[in-house]
Amino acid sequence: MAQNPPYSPAQSETHWQAAWAAAGCFAAPDDPGTQAKSYVLEMFPYPSGDLHMGHVRNYCIGDVFARFARLQGACVLHPMGWDALGLPAENQAILEQVAPQQRTPKNIARMKQQLMRLGLAYDWKREIATYRPEYYRWNQWFFLQLYARDLVYRRQSQVNFCSGCDTVLANEQVNEARVCWRGHPDVVKRSIGEWAFRITAYAEALLAGLDDLTQWPERILAQQRHWLGKSVGAGLRFARAGNDAAAPAQELEVFTTRLETAMGACAVLLAPDDPRHTDWVTPAQSAAVASFVARMQRTERSARLAETAAKEGVFTGSSVLHPFTGAPLPVVLANYVLADYGSGAVMCVPAHDARDHGLAQAMGLPVRQVVAPPAEGDAQDDATLPYSGPGHLMNSGVYDGQRCEEARASMLQAAQAGGFGGPQTTWHLRDWGFSRQRYWGTPIPIVYCDACGTVPLPLEALPLELPDFADLKLTGTGGAPLRQIKAFTDVPCPTCGAAATREVDTMDTFVDSAWYFARYLSPQHREAPVDPAAAAAWLPVDVYVGGPEHAVMHLLYFRFFTRVMRQLGLCQTDEPVRTLITQGMVNAPSYRCPNHGYVAAAPLRAAAAAKTPPSCPRCAQPLQVLVEKMSKSKLNGVDPLALIDRYGADTTRLYTLFAAPPEKDLEWDPNGVEGISRFVNRLWRLIAAQEEALNAAPSTAREAPSPAAREADLRARHLLHSTLQRVGDELLRRHHFNTAIAALMELVNGLYALQMHASNCVMGTKVRREVLQVCAAMLAPLAPHIAESCWAVGGGEKLVAQARWPAVDAQALQAQTLTLAVQVNGKLRAQLQVPADVDAATAGRLARADAGVQRHVGERPILKEIFIPGRLLNLVVAREG
């Protein structure tokens, strides 16, 4: 046999990528018409400048869906774009004083080049980038539409404020010790004005919509449900004690899910960051309160709320009257109360709430038990306090003896009748504050006029473009950068023409990503964010692939905007995504020296292979090895481009798909890549051998095949079609690409075992072609380049990228016998070859005849036989001893 040329992925992959482009395989029409449609989308990347392995994994997974849907006969839309605004680019601009408007397109060009090398089936004509005014003008358009519908408003909000930088900081820029990224200590929480979307108006709809998302992972639905956090309870109003008509507030409303414990209330609690607390502070207490509030501003919210954290409070000096009894209760600020949940105030019931109990002990508040646990044996009302279980009421006047549920209902009725309370539902979800004091974001189209107040820009004024970078000094200090530019801020009022000033905050980048999926459908459309005809044709997204870190916020905003779009007449769907795939992270070993921090991982991988324990190149100390998410700071990244250069795109794709199923984390293993590369080469040799065999075979031969040839054909087809069935199931239903690839490896191993790679193979040409074509189809979504070579050698028409998924031949699958597992008392004792259609009685007879089975059954009678057709037989006998 002639020596075949070794596989050259670089040459072959460039060739097929050009062929796909020439054939226009991946361009999607504006309307799929009568053809079934499939919209496959991956979370768009932040254009940092270089593709990393996390991107590669994300887009390879998406590409499998897109290419497989096309094989299944769908008209596929598979676009790509750039999430280009936001903090990292702004920080880089501060550092280098280079305009993000210049840096960003360069980064995009680089990353696009890198993406192209992977041979991803994108329709690049639909590419979008959020930093372009043609894109972000629609953020402004949405803002104005929501403003007109009272779904956007201004409010006060708590932010991190660093007096050293004189500006607001992102959470990421502050560490746990409240030190800022530049090293200033004492970052505090401060209240500032901001813009917010009224997403809470959609809470009920967003909750109900989850029931329709049957193709979303259950864990994501659970996280969304908990984030929405619907809680049904009651509101109860407490009036100010004493006749102080001049006091700024006359009552406090609390929210409770346990109204039946009201008689056990010993205080009413407010959050330290609740601005209303000043209405209740008396002069005598003002110093104590001020110091408590200041201390809380320096404490992390999570530290304040931790269950194990000490419960602390301070008396405001004022009291309110218990609405049921008229008894005075102190108004107290407590560290664990949330200002933005429910009504922002709660009643303190120490006997039946652990946190309240802790506070009561710390402050010496009275503990009054009002619920007795269900009586057991000798009736006992005493319980270990705090007690939060079920029971009946005590110490509660007319309600004594009622079960909790009864008391809750009757007290609610009494509260309504008395006009001091009623049913109330609260949510964990809060409105979405989207103001940012940053440069690299979408300007908010608002003007403030002394005469007209807050004035939205007219739609014709859009886009409101970001002013030039050259006109300001971006330092990351001193508040909103846009305020520096007089030419931007000082404008005439759109209504009255008088001198006015613009809003200088920009928008959160979550606004960009809340609706980008719609822009791909008509990226040039000028009348609206999306052409409603295109939206009707393509929405919802059929498959959405991205990281689980977006499980809650991004996906909730995404779903919220989809509902808004529907109400604006832009689309006809409430939910944006039918099937959601959340993929795991890409991890790799990182190496850390106790003296010198992280050490570059790449040179140490070779050392690890040589089994020398890794040591620091600078001080020779042994290094700590951890498996962590690939990142620049940990110096453990793998350059995808280097991988493609060395092994080719198909090997890179197959490795990321094979090493773990999509939803799990993937650990980088250089040896694993070698293994995949071996498989690709093995496959290549098989394909090359067929090229020779098919060319050599006289096409006119009509001789009857030998029995050996018939047997080889039969076996090859059995193997081929059972693999086709498995791979189809893995791709279509289970989305487990690693096991699909394993099945293909087994197929190739099996074909080698049938000598298909060898010159003495007797397999017929017709079966050889079938094997090649079916293999090509199965490979096409996973390793699309070598799949084309396989298709071409097998004599397939046009490209496999344009082909259809083959049908399983049920006849080829039929088997004569199967292996039946025989257990005795649940332990495997024999494996019998039996006829495929064996019944329980026959299986029992065969099993009893087996020597191994007999040894374990012995003289004991068989009590029961459990037969699972096609799988196993379990003989149950009396246990010994």
Partner RNA sequence: ACCGGGGUGGCGGAAUCGGUAGACGCUGGGGACUUAAAAUCCCUUGUCCGUAAGGACGUGCGGGUUCAAUUCCCGCCCUCGGUACCA
Strand partners, 315: 332
Q: Tell me, residue by residue from 737 to 766, as one string, x for binding to RNA by CB under 7 A and - for no binding.
A: -xx-xx--xx--x--xx-------------
Distance CA 718, CA 716 (A): 5
Measuring CA to CA, how many Å separate 535 from each of 206, 530, 544, 567?
21, 7, 16, 13
Q: Closer CB to RNA, residue 97 or residue 817?
A: 817
Residue showing tokens 């004492």: 186
> Judged by CB under 7 A, which stretch of 116-124, 468-476, 520-528, 824-832 contacts RNA?
824-832
196-225 residues near RNA, rule: CB under 7 A: 218-220, 222-223
* Closest alpha carbon to 488 in 436, 441, 447: 447
Of 106, 301, 646, 845, the one binding RNA by CB under 7 A: 301
CB of 226 to RNA, least distance (A): 3
> What single-letter DSSP state applies at residue 113?
H
Decide if residue 437 touches RNA (CB under 7 A). yes
Q: Which of 598, 681, 602, 612 is nearest to 643 (CA)?
A: 602
Question: Is residue 179 within the footprint of RNA (CB under 7 A)?
Answer: no
**Residues found in the chain:** 881
Query: Under the criterion CB under 7 A, does residue 734 sit at the interface with RNA?
Result: yes
Q: What angle (nearest 5°) sits at the alpha carbon of residue 554, between those of residues 549 and 556? A: 115
Give the Cβ contact number of residue 250 at 10 Å.
12
Rule CB under 7 A: is residue 305 a binding residue for RNA? yes
CA atoms within 13 A on the CB side of 780: 31
Site for RNA in 614-653 (CB under 7 A): 629
Select from 141-149, 551-559, 644-652, 690-698 the region that touches RNA (CB under 7 A).
Answer: 551-559
Among 105, 479, 617, 672, interactor with RNA by CB under 7 A: 672
Stretch that binds RNA, among 380-388, 411-419, 690-698, 849-857 (CB under 7 A): 849-857
Please list every residue from 566 through 605 that binds RNA, using CB under 7 A: 585
Which of 829, 834, 838, 846 contacts RNA by CB under 7 A? 829
Contacts of 338-341 with C-beta under 8 Å, sequence gap 24+, read: 338/271, 338/305, 339/270, 339/271, 339/273, 339/274, 340/430, 341/255, 341/426, 341/428
Regarding 316 and contact with RNA (CB under 7 A), the answer is no
By CB under 7 A, tell whether 608 contacts RNA.
no
Among 182, 295, 678, 766, binds RNA (CB under 7 A): 678
Q: Are 288 and 312 in contact (CB under 8 A)?
A: no
Q: Which stretch binds RNA (CB under 7 A): 345-353, 366-374, 809-817, 869-877?
A: 869-877
Q: Considering only residues 130 through 169, tell me which ones interact with RNA, judged by CB under 7 A.
A: 157, 159-160, 168-169
Nearer to RNA, 331 or 638 (CB): 638
- As to burial, measured by CB atoms within 10 angstroms (0-12 exposed, 13-18 middle, 19+ buried), residue 526 is exposed
Residues in contact with RNA, total (CB under 7 A)?
Answer: 102
Q: Cβ of residue 62: shortest distance to RNA, in angstroms?
A: 16
513 binds RNA (CB under 7 A): yes
Question: Minimum distance from CB of 729 to RNA (Å)?
Answer: 6
**Which CA distances in Å does 448 have to 439, 444, 500, 501, 502?**
19, 12, 6, 5, 6
- Mark residues 75-114: x for contact with RNA by CB under 7 A, - for none: --------x--xxx--------------------------
Residues 6+ apart with CB under 8 A from 234: 255, 256, 257, 259, 408, 412, 415, 421, 422, 423, 424
C-beta of 429: minimal distance to RNA in Å?
5
Residue 467: both structure tokens together: 């002013």
Rg (CA), the chain: 35
Report in angstroms how near the CB of residue 301 gets to RNA at its nearest: 6
- Cβ closer to RNA: 320 or 337? 337
- In terms of C-beta density within 10 A (0-12 exposed, 13-18 middle, 19 or more buried), how is residue 443 classed? buried
d(CA 132, CA 144): 19
Interaction residues for RNA, span 462-491 (CB under 7 A) = none
Which residues from 376-435 bind RNA, rule CB under 7 A? 428-430, 432-435
Window 222 to 251, contacts with RNA (CB under 7 A):
222-223, 226-227, 229
